[in-house]
A = this chain, B = another copy of it.
Amino acid sequence: MSDNDPNDAAAAVDEARLWQRHEDMAQHGLTPRGGVNRQAFSEEDRAARRTMIAWAQALDCTLATDEIGNLYIRRAGRDKKAAPVVTGSHLDSQPTGGKYDGAYGVLAGMEALAAMRDAGIETKRPIEVVAWSNEEGSRFEPGGMGSAVFARDMRLADLLPARDPDGTALGDALARTLEATAEVPHRDSGFLIAAYVEAHIEQGPRLEAAGLPIGVVTGIQGQHNYEITVTGTEAHAGTTPQRDRRDALQSAVAIIAALGDLMHDETDTLRFTVGRMDVQPGSHNTVPGHVAFTIDLRHPDGAELDRRGDAIEGVCQAHVGPCDVVVHRLNAVAPTRFDPKVIETVQHWADALDFSNMLIASGAGHDAMFVAKLCPAGMIFVPCEKGISHNEAEAATPADLAAGARVLTACLVDLANRV
């Protein structure tokens, strides 16, 4: 056993400390029902960043932030010029989200740094924890912005005009966020990364059903996001004959019903969701003149995903009736296959630390899918109760969170000394 044995680092993971930090972090945006509302670049997000900075300073780590607000916490390695091994996830949440989605990956990374310090571990490469900005996209669309800008998959200049439902521009909210951490030095995004491992709750039911604490993630299904805008004419509900109406809501309903047929899948592999729908002017006795709704479409097979996605425009035009429809594809992310070396490393340490585990594909998108375009990448899943996520009832156990953090810690030490 050397001074830098990953087993020693993993053993130093402190389950109680990790659990308490989830409780502490959840105070930023805690909801009355025990969930979290900490949307990107909000006051709650800024408070979460301040907490991260305090924790990083207590670990004698160095800090940096980039142009999209990604926050980096770096533990030095022996080779100061070597590219870092990176872990992390996101601190923003859904409007009715839970305490673990995203936050777990960041806090497990911080626990890994603390465990390495406690165990006196020194690595060849530096190790960095990153909190990627705006993964959820619930306030400013599209999601995955921080990691996508890092990976040059999105351009910052294209994103700045995006507005939240209250009309606030992303550029303004981002500027306020960067001002709130003005003492943190700037670093340009897109720097070289040696390897990336992200820990996350599964957000699905399979690990819990199998009774396993660790999922070794093989990849992420592809995802397209669309915004559909239907325009008709506002009119009086009592006097306007049906034949004279251009009712944007009725057209939207016809389109969504037809899209449901288009998206039918006997194998139940395709994921088709209309999550947001805005009806204007929203008066019970006025025919709606304007409807906007979103489509979230996912499939593990890229060709099948493209085939279904490409058919949306035609279905919209065919069923819009007397109204007008505009189909805007917000983003399209191909399926991700993680790096075999990283998958093997995660599986090795799960086995070595005696955590039963399974190979698993991710249904949800994660920052790792953008980072995987730049470097060898992988993910570690831990179970969440009943697979419930994007919900204030999201729950996980201290033991499972610690198990994932131990596997993560061992992987980081191993990768930072080996690759």
CB-CB under 8 A from A78, the residues of chain B are none
Residues of B within 8 A of A223 (CB): 238
Give the interface centre of A221, A235, A237 by most chain B CB atoms within 10 Å: A237
Q: Does A2 touch B at the CB level, under 8 Å?
A: no
Which DSSP category, helix, strand, loop or mixed, fits chain A's interface?
A: loop
Q: Are B277 and A236 in contact (CB under 8 A)?
A: no
Chain B: minimal CB distance from A276 (Å): 5
Q: Is the CB of B279 within 8 A of A285?
A: no
In the complex, the answer to whether A275 meets B265 with C-beta atoms within 8 Å is no
Minimum CB–CB distance from A227 to chain B (whole Å) comes to 8
Say whether A399 faces chain B, with CB atoms less than 8 Å apart. no
A138 within 8 A of partner (CB): yes
The interface residues of chain B lying within 8 Å CB-to-CB of A239 are: 202-204, 271, 362-364, 387, 389
Task: Answer whether residue A234 sits at the interface, using C-beta atoms and an 8 A cutoff.
Answer: yes
Task: Identify which of A96, A239, A241 gathers the most chain B CB atoms within 10 Å of its CB.
Answer: A239
For residue A136, CB closer than 8 A to chain B, the reply is yes
Known: A257-B254, A277-B277. Is A282-B236 also a contact (CB below 8 A)?
A: no
Q: Are A237 and B203 in contact (CB under 8 A)?
A: no
- Give the distance in Å from the alpha carbon of A250 to the alpha carbon of B298 in the complex: 17
Query: Which one of B138, B260, B270, B365 lies within 8 Å of A253 (CB-CB)?
Result: B260
Using CB atoms, name the residue of chain B closest to A260.
B250
Among B221, B241, B284, B390, which residue has its beta carbon within 8 angstroms of that of A283? B390
Task: Say yes or no: is A273 at the interface (Cβ < 8 Å to chain B).
Answer: yes
- Across the interface, which residues of B come within 8 angstroms of A387, CB to CB? 236, 239-240
B95 contacts A271, C-beta separation under 8 Å: no
B268 in contact with A242 (CB, 8 Å): yes
A42 within 8 A of B: no
B225 adjacent to A363 (CB under 8 Å): no
| Complex CA distance for A363 and B372, rounded to whole angstroms | 61
Q: Is the Cβ of B284 less than 8 Å from the Cβ of A141?
A: yes
- Choose, from A22-30, A121-129, A286-294, the stretch at the interface: A286-294
User: Which residues on the B side are within 8 Å of A388 (C-beta)?
Assistant: 235
Q: A322 at interface (Cβ–Cβ under 8 A)?
A: no
Is A62 in contact with chain B by the CB < 8 A criterion? no
Let me know if A275 and B268 touch, CB within 8 A.
no
A53 contacts chain B at the CB level, 8 A cutoff: no
**Per-residue contact bits, chain A 378-394, to B (CB 8 Å; 1 contact, 0 not):** 00000000011111000
Asked whether, in the complex, the Cβ of A236 is within 8 Å of the Cβ of B390, the reply is yes
Contact assessment for A363 and B285 in the assembled complex, using a CB-CB cutoff below 8 Å: no
Given pairs A204-B239, A235-B388, 11 additional interface contacts (CB within 8 A)? A94-B283, A221-B238, A225-B284, A236-B363, A236-B364, A238-B364, A239-B387, A247-B273, A250-B260, A257-B257, A273-B286
- List, sorted by A's number, 16 A–B pairs whose CB atoms are closer than 8 Å: A94-B286, A138-B284, A204-B236, A234-B391, A236-B391, A237-B298, A238-B365, A239-B387, A240-B363, A242-B268, A250-B274, A253-B257, A257-B257, A273-B286, A273-B287, A285-B365
* 5 interchain residue pairs of minimum CB distance: A239-B363, A204-B239, A237-B273, A284-B294, A238-B364
